[in-house]
Amino acid sequence: MRKFDLPGAGVRLNCLDYGGEGAPPILFIHGGAAHAHWWDFVGQRLNGHRCFSLDLRGHGDSDRAPGEDYSIAAHVADLEQALQQWGYGQPVLVCHSGGCFVALPYAAAHPESIAGIVIVEPRIHWPPELLERASHRNSRPHRRFATLQEACESYRLIFPPIGAAPEVLAHVARHSFRQEPDGMWVNKTERLAMAGIWHISVMEYAARLRCPALVMRGDRSVHLSQEDAIKLTALAKAGPAVVISNAQHNVMLDNPDEVASALRSFVAGLK
């Protein structure tokens, strides 16, 4: 795996290259409060395909946004700029959770630039209590830790893992913190980095898609219901949703083998 930079709209975006060969390439887009390394265990299983994973602005090892601009328009502009210059051909976008709110508006506006889209566990409804909790969380400063070990031991997923192996969770945690100039460790994600997603309608943008699409959910998801997945596939003119077994919201961590297999089948159908 190698790291390289892609130009965003006034920011530098970090991208991981898992290697592999074959077209179309696959570009993973993580969810809110996550980072590119969440997709490592899927990307490394798809060695028959050229796979990449992107850190959105304010996440992972990408730049923080000037003026704290974390609007959806800014995120979409980043993706547009990056894909104009990356030189690997039309990708299949594989977006998870909050990343769907970036990838779907982009895909609806630029269908000619991608080979397809995989919509993984998007949030369809925003209950008032969830919005209030998210707003409160965004206003809190990050905790600071004296050591990386202490930081990793504190790391918790918003949606508890079901099938994720301990080494998978440890890997994600290790890549979730950065060291400050004073030596303390803090979470890499800016609190406001996905604050602009709340008004985006997944269903509205799915209905605008003009590219091949696939919907994916965990069999024990509390995020995307079976009923909503059916509605989403109909709007996106996709086939039946893929249900990943022994998985909750974070399917790529809970069951990377099944996720990789589903992606392999979808991409094969595009050729």
* DSSP H or E segment with residue 218: strand 213-218
Q: What pLDDT is recorded for position 136?
A: 62
CA distance 189 to 194: 10
Q: What pLDDT is recorded for position 161?
A: 92
Residue 131 pLDDT level (bands cut at 50, 70, 90)? low
Question: Which percentage of the chain shows pLDDT scores above 70?
Answer: 96
Contact 214/266 with Cβ under 8 angstroms? yes
Short-list 43, 54, 53, CA closest to 13 = 54
CA distance 200 to 150: 36
CA distance 197 to 137: 15
Judge whether residue 130 has pLDDT over 90: no
Instruction: Write the pLDDT tens digit of every residue in 186-214.
Output: 999 998 888 877 778 999 999 999 999 99
Domain boundaries, the chain: 2-130+192-268
Short-list 271, 210, 252, 266, CA closest to 99 = 252
Average pLDDT over residues 140-149: 92
Please report, as a single letter, which amino acid is at residue 176.
S
For 239, phi then psi, to 5°, come to -75, -170
Query: Is the torsion defined by CA of 155, 125, 249, 17 positive or negative?
Result: negative
Average pLDDT over residues 46-59: 95
Average pLDDT over residues 32-59: 95
Short-list 180, 187, 161, 197, CA closest to 76 = 197
Cβ-based neighbours of 217, under 8 Å, separated by 6 or more:
120, 121, 223, 224, 226, 229, 241, 242, 243, 244, 251
What is the Cα 118 distance to its own chain's centre? 11
DSSP-derived secondary structure for 91-160: PEEEEEGGGHHHHHHHHHH-GGG-SEEEEES------HHHHHHHHHHHTSPPP-BSSHHHHHHH---SS-
**CATH number attached to the domain at 2-130+192-268:** 3.40.50.1820
Residue 47 pLDDT level (bands cut at 50, 70, 90)? confident
